[in-house]
């Protein structure tokens, strides 16, 4: 079953989010848009929080966040328990975010990469598999830090 996708952006990521949303829907994904809904200036943590909370409560949903650099969205999303948000820029980081980090949210910078590169990075992430093994041990260590034990 194809994963559901929760998507969000601030004003800087809005145009790229709209392009990616249309493309993902064409590819057959079910996409839920958590805003923003215009290019008017707004604050990225508001949308990172909404998408991250949705992903944290539903294992079958992955999140895609866009801001100018992807950095602010990534920092904010990682504050929600259970979220492993990764900043990706290209096919290599998209693939690694899944294979090594088992990320459940990816963040992209609309002022860093264009639509074509974003499509390739996202598609590589969506089609990759977590590799487990040594990567599992490392991801579990991150989870242990989160639990503070
Ligand atoms: C907005 O100007 C910009 O700071 C924001 O989109 C993002 O890049 C923050 O990390």
Question: Strand pairing of 31-33 and 4-9?
Answer: parallel
- The vertex-99 CA angle with 32 and 71, nearest 5°, equals 55
Give the global pTM. 0.97
Each residue's pLDDT, cut to its tens digit, for the chain (149 residues) gives 678 999 999 999 999 999 999 999 999 999 999 999 999 999 999 999 999 999 999 999 999 999 999 999 999 999 999 999 999 999 999 999 999 999 999 999 999 999 999 999 999 999 999 999 999 999 999 999 999 87
Quick: pLDDT tens for 87-105. Answer: 999 999 999 999 999 999 9
10, 50 Cβ separation under 8 angstroms? no
| Strand partners of residue 109 | 67
Give 132's DSSP letter.
-
Pocket around ligand 1 at a 6 A CB cut-off: 10, 12, 44, 67-69, 71-72
> 35 vs 51, 95, 144, CA distance in Å?
9, 26, 32
Cα distance between residue 84 and residue 74, in whole Å: 9
Residue of 11, 44, 74, 85 to mutate, ligand 1, most atoms within 8 A of C-beta? 44
């Amino acid at each position: 079953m194809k994963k559901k996708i929760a998507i969000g952006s601030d004003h800087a990521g809005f145009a790229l989010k709209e392009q990616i949303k249309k493309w993902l829907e064409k590819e057959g994904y079910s996409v839920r848009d958590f805003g923003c809904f215009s290019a008017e200036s707004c604050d990225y943590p508001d949308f990172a929080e909404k998408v991250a909370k949705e992903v944290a409560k539903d294992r079958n949903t992955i999140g895609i966040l866009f801001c100018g650099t992807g950095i602010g969205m990534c920092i904010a999303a990682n504050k929600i328990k259970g979220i492993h948000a990764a900043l990706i820029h290209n096919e290599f980081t998209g693939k690694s975010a899944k294979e090594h980090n088992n990320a459940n949210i990816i963040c992209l910078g609309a002022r860093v990469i264009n639509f074509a590169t974003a499509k390739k990075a996202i598609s590589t992430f969506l089609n990759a598999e977590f590799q487990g093994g040594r990567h599992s041990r490392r991801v579990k260590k991150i989870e242990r830090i989160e639990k503070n034990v």
